[in-house]
Homo-oligomer: A and B are copies of this chain.
Amino acid sequence: MAVYTEGQSMELLEILECSPPLAREPLDAEQAAGVARVFKALGDPVRLRIVSIVASRAGGEVCVCDITGAFELSQPTISHHLKVLKEVGLLTSERRASWVYYRLVPETLGELSALLDVPATV
């Protein structure tokens, strides 16, 4: 049983789980709309780097201040991107004391990977 942070949409992961690999069967309009939201979130260079920073971090947790330091962008801008990534189910967040820590949701990334997987050409 998973617990989802507020502001996070569970529907999207469900849509991902129900969507067939692109190479097997065309997506219907609803599936495409859901999946596209996640890809759109990954379609920004800053957000993509944020995901890679969080995903590759040993221990899995990254403080917002660590992320902010990696970019020459204002802190509210980073916060905005984190919110977008959270809304599509790629990240979760947890507050401890003054700091907020972000974690990857590996299931979402895994579903996307499976969706794009192309059977090897024999």
Contact = CB atoms under 8 A, between A and B. Distances in A.
Interface string A30-47: 001101110111111111
B36 A42 contact: yes
Nearest to A118: B106
B43 A29 contact: no
A94 to B, nearest CB: 18
Contacts of A96: none
Contacts of A48: 22, 27, 32, 35-36, 39
A25 B52 contact: yes
Nearest to A40: B43
B55 A33 contact: no
B29 A45 contact: yes
A63 interface: no
The 8 closest A-B pairs by CB, nearest first: A40-B43, A113-B116, A39-B42, A39-B43, A43-B43, A32-B45, A36-B45, A22-B52
